[in-house]
Chain A
Amino acid sequence: MRSPRPRFARPSLVVTAALALAAVAGCGGGSSTDGGGSAAAPGGAFTPPKIETLKSLGPGEGQVNLVAWAGYAEDGSNDPKVDWVHPFEKATGCTVNTKTAGTSDEMVNLMKTGEYDAVSASGDASLRLIASGTVAPVNTDLVPNYKDVFEGLKLKPWNSVNGVAYGIPHGRGANLLMWRTDTVNPAPDSWGVVFDPASPYKGKVTAYDSPIYIADAALYLMSARPELGIKDPYALDETQLKAAVDLLKQQKQNIGEYWSDYTKAVQSFKSGDTAVGTTWQVIANLVEADKAPVQTTLPKEGSTGWSDTWMVAAQAKHPNCAYKWLDWIISPTANAQVAEWFGEAPANAKACEQTSDKSFCDTYHATDEEYFSKVHYWTTPIAQCLDGRTDVKCTDYSEWTRAWTEIKG
C-alpha cells in the first residue's frame, strides 16, 4: 500500500522570511519592513546570508541525520520490498537516521535545531530555510545524478536564489480533476464542472478540505473571470479572495463531502458517493486498481500541485554523507522507488527506465514539461503579494484559514 503523507498538513502560516519570499517571487523591493535578516535588493531579488558551499567531497562521516516527509526515506519497515535506505548504507557506509516531520512548520523548526544534515522541504518551507541561513547552497557538481534531473525542475524560485541552487529536486505532482465515467457525461476538461452552480452532479462533487484549496478556486477564476486580475492563485487581495470565497460557498451547495485523507477519497470515488472532484494521481491509481470507472485530466485552466527539494543544512555535521544521500535519492533506481511508493513524478529522467511499472512515468507525466508548465506549485500565501504587486496587501494564510471556516459554515 502506498502511504502518501497527509498533504493537508503542509501549508502553514509561516513566515520568518516573508519578505524574502515576496522578493523572490518577483515582488519589487517596495516594502520597507525591517523584519528579517535578509533585505530585499532594489532589483527585486533577495540576498540570502552568505554561506559557503561544499567545495569537494570527502570521505563519509559514518552517519547522516535526515528530516523527511513520510515515505521519502523507506527502510523496509513499512513494506520489506520498499527499501532504499539499507542499500544506501551498504554502498556508502553512512547510517541513516530519519526524523519524519508532519508539517512544513515542523520541518523548519527541526532544521533550526542544527541536529540534522538534510531535509526534504516543500515550496512553503524551502525559502524560509534559505533566507534564515539554515540551509547552504548545494554544489551540484558534487551530485553526479543532478545532470539527469528534468530541466523543468532545476533552478526554480522555490529551490534557488539568483541562479544558485539550494537543493536537489525530489519529485512533483499535480492535483487533478477526476470523474466517474459512468455518471459524468460528457467528459469534463475544465474545473468549471466542480464550480458550476447548476451542476447536474449536485451532492456528488468533492473538494479538498484545506484552506489551500482556495487557490484552486482562484486558479479557475483566473480564466473564468479575468476582470478580477488574478495572476497568481497564491497572491489574492481582499477583493480577489472574496470572489474565490463566494465561488467556494456557491460550490458548497453541490459538495457531497470534503476530503483531506486520501483513503477517504479513494473509498468515496469507488462507492460512487463522489462523482467528480479534485484528486491526486495516487488516488486515481488506487481507485482504478479496484476496477472503478474513473478518469483523470489536467483541466485546461491548469491546476495546483507540489514540488519538493532536498536541502543540506548550513551547519551540517555530516555534509559528505548528506551529499551522498542527495545523490542517492535522485539516482535512477532510488528515485524510481520513492516515486512509485509515494505516487509522484520522479525528478531524474533516467528513473523512468527503472520503475517496476514501465508506464509509470507516462501515467505521472514525468517527462511532460508542457503538462507541468500548467501546474501552480503550492506556496504559502503571505501579506506581500507573491505576484509582484506592491500597491495592495495580499491575504495571508491565517485569513485563508478563517475564510475556509466561513466557507464550510
Chain B
Amino acid sequence: MTTLTTTAASPGMRRRAASFLHRHAGVRLSLLLSAPLAWLGLAYLGALAALLVTAFWSTDVFTGDVVKVFTWANFTDLVTGEVYRTVALRSIGVAAAVTLIDLVVAFPMAFAMAKLASPRAQRWLVIAVLTPLWASYLVKAYAWRVMLSSDGVLGWGYGLTATVVTLSYLWLPYMILPIYAGLERLPNSLLDAAGDLGARPWRTFRTVVWPLTFPAAVAGSIFTFSLSLGDYITVKIVGGKTQLIGNVVYDNIGAANNLPFAAAVATVPVVIMLVYLAAVRRTGALENL
C-alpha cells in the first residue's frame, strides 16, 4: 500500500492503474502470483532439478571435476550396493519409529492443551512446547549425549535406540502443534454429544476424535518423518557406530567431493517422501488439511 502511494506520481495515476488492473484480471493474477511462483519454480524446484540432473553425471577421478555426461552409473551403484539398501531401510525404520513415538507422546499432550487447559494455561503450554525450539539443535543433541553416556542420568549408551529417542525429542513440537491446532477446531459439543449418546471415552476417541484429527496427525507425521529421514547430525552425536542416509550423502560430498553420487543418494529420501505423500493422499487426509 505504502509503496503504491510513494511510487505513483499522482492520485490520478493510481486510480488509472487500479482500474486497469480491475479490467484485466489476467494481469492482476500474474502480478499477484509471480513472486511466489518464481520462488517455488526457481529456488525450490530448481534446486531439486539441479540435484536430479547432477545425479546422472560423474566425477573425474583424476581431476576431481564433475563430468557432465549422462550415466546411470550412480544409480546402478546405489541399487546394486547392498549397503545402501541396508542404510535406506534403517533410515526409514528410524523415521517411522520417531513418528510413532512422537504421535503417542504428542496426542495426549495436545489433547490436554486444547480441551482440558484453561485459555490462560493454554497460552503458557504453547509457549512451553515452543521453547525448546529456541535452543540450538546442537545444544539439545549434546545434552542428550551427556544424559545417555554411561555415567549420565539415563546411561543407556549410544546407538540406534539413542538416535531414535533423541530425534523423537527434537521433533516433538512439530507433532504437537498441528495436532493441537486440529483439536482446537474440533467442537467440544461433539465430545459432549458422544458422551450423551453413551459412548465411552475410548469409543469417543476412536469414532469422533481420531477421524477428525487424523489429517492433523498426518501433517505432523510429514514433519517428523521427513525431518528424521534427512538428519545426519544427531546420529553422528549419539548414534555410536550407526549411519543413516544423511551420513552417506555427507561423506560423499564433504569428504570425497563426489557430488554426483551424493546427489544420487539424496534422491532416495526424496523418493521415499513422494511415496509417503502418495500413500497419505490415498487416505484422503490431505484434502482436510
Chain A residues near B256 (CB, 8 Å)?
Answer: 12-13, 211, 397-398, 400-402
Contact of A35 among B63, B251, B257 (CB under 8 A): B63
- B61 contacts A383, C-beta separation under 8 Å: yes
Q: Does A408 contact B (CB under 8 A)?
A: yes
Q: Does B248 contact A (CB under 8 A)?
A: yes
- B158 contacts A12, C-beta separation under 8 Å: no
Q: Mark A165-176, 1 if CB is under 8 A from B, else 0.
A: 000000000000
Taken together as a complex, chains A and B put the C-alpha atoms of A92 and B130 apart, in Å, by 52
Q: Does B204 contact A (CB under 8 A)?
A: no
Q: Does B115 contact A (CB under 8 A)?
A: no
CB distance from A105 to the nearest CB of B (A): 6
CB distance from B76 to the nearest CB of A (A): 13
Q: Please report which residues of chain A, range 373-409, place their CB below 8 angstroms from some CB of chain B when the two chains form the complex.
A: 382-383, 396-398, 400-402, 404-406, 408-409
Contact of A273 among B83, B157, B252, B258 (CB under 8 A): B157
Binds A, one of B118-126, B172-180, B233-241: B233-241
Taken together as a complex, chains A and B put the C-alpha atoms of A396 and B59 apart, in Å, by 12
- A13 contacts B145, C-beta separation under 8 Å: no
Contact of B61 among A15, A261, A409 (CB under 8 A): A15
Binds A, one of B41-49, B148-156, B281-289: B148-156
Q: Please report which residues of chain B, range 123-173, place their CB below 8 angstroms from some CB of chain A when the two chains form the complex.
A: 145-146, 149-152, 157-158
- B63 contacts A273, C-beta separation under 8 Å: no
- Closest-by-CB residue of B relative to A206 is B241
CB distance from B94 to the nearest CB of A (A): 14
- B251 contacts A13, C-beta separation under 8 Å: no
Given A267-B146, A271-B151, verify A14-B243 contact (CB < 8 Å). Answer: no
Chain B residues near A285 (CB, 8 Å)?
Answer: none
Chain B residues near A258 (CB, 8 Å)?
Answer: 240-241
Q: Please report which residues of chain B, range 239-263, place their CB below 8 angstroms from some CB of chain A when the two chains form the complex.
A: 239-243, 247-248, 251-252, 254-258, 261
Chain B residues near A9 (CB, 8 Å)?
Answer: 254-255
Q: Does B86 contact A (CB under 8 A)?
A: yes
CB distance from A216 to the nearest CB of B (A): 15
Q: Does B62 contact A (CB under 8 A)?
A: yes
Taken together as a complex, chains A and B put the C-alpha atoms of A389 and B84 apart, in Å, by 33
CB distance from B35 to the nearest CB of A (A): 34
Q: Please report which residues of chain B, range 18-69, place their CB below 8 angstroms from some CB of chain A when the two chains form the complex.
A: 59, 61-64
- B239 contacts A211, C-beta separation under 8 Å: no
CB distance from A270 to the nearest CB of B (A): 9
- B83 contacts A406, C-beta separation under 8 Å: yes
Given A211-B256, A409-B86, A409-B243, verify A35-B62 contact (CB < 8 Å). Answer: yes
Given A398-B256, A401-B258, verify A15-B64 contact (CB < 8 Å). Answer: yes
Q: Does A257 contact B (CB under 8 A)?
A: yes
Chain B residues near A272 (CB, 8 Å)?
Answer: 150-151
Q: Mark A1-37, 1 if CB is under 8 A from B, else 0.
A: 0000000110111111011000000000000010100
Given A273-B149, A273-B157, A396-B61, verify A105-B257 contact (CB < 8 Å). Answer: yes
Chain A residues near B59 (CB, 8 Å)?
Answer: 13, 398
Given A272-B150, A401-B251, A404-B251, verify A18-B62 contact (CB < 8 Å). Answer: yes
Contact of B255 among A18, A211, A264 (CB under 8 A): A211
Q: Does A241 contact B (CB under 8 A)?
A: no
Chain A residues near B252 (CB, 8 Å)?
Answer: 398, 401-402, 405
- Closest-by-CB residue of B relative to A203 is B157
- A16 contacts B63, C-beta separation under 8 Å: yes
Chain B residues near A404 (CB, 8 Å)?
Answer: 251
Taken together as a complex, chains A and B put the C-alpha atoms of A11 and B77 apart, in Å, by 23
Chain B residues near A13 (CB, 8 Å)?
Answer: 59, 61, 64, 256-258
Taken together as a complex, chains A and B put the C-alpha atoms of A230 and B152 apart, in Å, by 43
Chain B residues near A264 (CB, 8 Å)?
Answer: 145, 237
CB distance from B66 to the nearest CB of A (A): 12
CB distance from A247 to the nearest CB of B (A): 15
- Closest-by-CB residue of A relative to B65 is A16
Q: Does A268 contact B (CB under 8 A)?
A: yes
- A408 contacts B243, C-beta separation under 8 Å: yes
CB distance from B280 to the nearest CB of A (A): 31
Taken together as a complex, chains A and B put the C-alpha atoms of A406 and B85 apart, in Å, by 11
- A252 contacts B241, C-beta separation under 8 Å: yes
- A405 contacts B251, C-beta separation under 8 Å: yes
Q: Does A260 contact B (CB under 8 A)?
A: yes
CB distance from A109 to the nearest CB of B (A): 11
Given A12-B257, A13-B257, A273-B157, verify A268-B251 contact (CB < 8 Å). Answer: no
Chain B residues near A267 (CB, 8 Å)?
Answer: 145-146, 149
Taken together as a complex, chains A and B put the C-alpha atoms of A211 and B257 apart, in Å, by 12
- A261 contacts B236, C-beta separation under 8 Å: yes
Chain B residues near A297 (CB, 8 Å)?
Answer: none
- Closest-by-CB residue of A relative to B148 is A273
Q: Which 5 A-B pairs have the closest CB atoms?
A: A401-B256, A257-B240, A271-B149, A13-B257, A398-B256
Instruction: Give 13 CB contacts A-B under 8 Å.
Output: A12-B256, A13-B256, A103-B254, A210-B255, A211-B255, A257-B158, A264-B145, A398-B257, A400-B256, A404-B251, A405-B87, A406-B83, A409-B83
14 new A-B contacts, CB < 8 A, other than A9-B254, A401-B258, are A9-B255, A13-B64, A35-B62, A103-B254, A252-B241, A264-B237, A271-B149, A398-B61, A398-B256, A398-B261, A402-B77, A402-B256, A404-B251, A408-B247
